[in-house]
């Protein structure tokens, strides 16, 4: 994605940095042929490989108001693959 930021405010720069990191990590997952998972508030990919960098979280936008059950459900889905994940 090629978006130009139109503000140099702290929040705009943080958002741009987060977006760039998410795009880079997603590109890495696509290069590895990973399976991607997208949930409300989080996304990750799993290759099934035995190393941390082969199975990664892309983003998590969880708040103190995110229900614990939702977080537990996502973690259960990740842990079900039985591979290390970063």
The answer to whether residue 3 is domain-embedded is no
The answer to whether residue 65 is domain-embedded is yes
Q: Does the structure show a pLDDT above 80 at 3? A: no
The answer to whether residue 64 is domain-embedded is yes
Question: For residues 29 and 45, is the Cβ–Cβ distance under 8 A?
Answer: yes
Q: Quote the pLDDT of residue 46.
A: 97
Residues of the domain holding 56: 10-79
Q: pTM of the entire structure?
A: 0.82
Instruction: Express each pLDDT in 21-66 by its tens digit.
Output: 999 999 999 999 999 999 988 999 999 999 999 999 999 999 999 9
Which of 62, 61, 32, 37 lies closest to 49 in space, CA to CA?
32
């Amino acid at each position: 994605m090629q978006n130009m930021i139109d503000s140099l405010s702290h929040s705009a720069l943080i958002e741009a940095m987060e977006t760039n990191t998410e795009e880079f990590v997603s590109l890495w997952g696509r290069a590895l042929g990973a399976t991607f998972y997208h949930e409300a508030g989080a996304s990750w990919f799993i290759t099934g490989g035995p190393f941390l960098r082969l199975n990664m979280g892309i983003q998590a936008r969880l708040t103190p108001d995110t229900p614990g059950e939702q977080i537990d459900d996502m973690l259960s889905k990740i842990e079900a693959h039985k591979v290390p994940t970063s």
